[in-house]
Structure 1
């Protein structure tokens, strides 16, 4: 009942060849499933002339083994496909995360670069204004200096 509640199928009893508790679990030499070398490829036992039981596994057993093998191969292939898909998905997510991080870092650098460029332009403008003021002051100083020299020459000429 508990297995129905959980949604899982009930557990099947394990068949162990080492336990002699059940005759169907004991191995026999005449068991067709144990002697694969005596396979007859579908020929009837009467064609051998022995009249005994047909050696080798029956078609039903072979078909069951084939079906189980096919199921096993399908599960293995599905597992491999899932692992590959999962790996690719994880790699894609990691690439997206790295792309996001690097894009954010690059955008931050570009913004800081633009801020620095704006500050440099402001500083260049201030320096240009200071240079213009110094040139004006130098011209004023030069003209005042020239006037003083002219006045000094005139004074020298008057006194001499």
Structure 2
């Protein structure tokens, strides 16, 4: 399979909703795909710099983001169980750390700082998906998953700093 098709050279691309559609590359659906793709790439970087113990979970999240893209385009296996898995991980990490009592600025150790970058990109992807819902049917599980994922990434950043014995930068 060739990587290039030349079909998008004039600024359009094909997406699959309930039927194949040709849309402009700045269409809301393409913007959502792009933001989710950027998030997935940033998560790949986080997996590369975080401790090995987090890689399987981060790779699972990356696979779920592909499912979020499928949900936007046609169908998905993303489910409430995937959201619950994020909540369970948030709860598990939170039990180990002291409670948060102040606002936390992005930063700290490299892995925590990257987790904060992922969180910010996740929030942008979530906003893009919310905008997309004005034009396309998007299953409720997609924005809910992105919302919970940003919570997880914030908690993970705090945990990575805690694990590295680096204080969070507070307001």
- Please tell me the TM-score bracket, short chain as reference: under 0.3
Q: Whose radius of gyration is greater, 1 or 2? A: 1
| Structure with bigger RCO (C-alpha 8 Å, 6+ apart) | 2
Q: TM-score, normalised by structure 2?
A: 0.21
Identify the structure with the greater helix proportion. Answer: 1
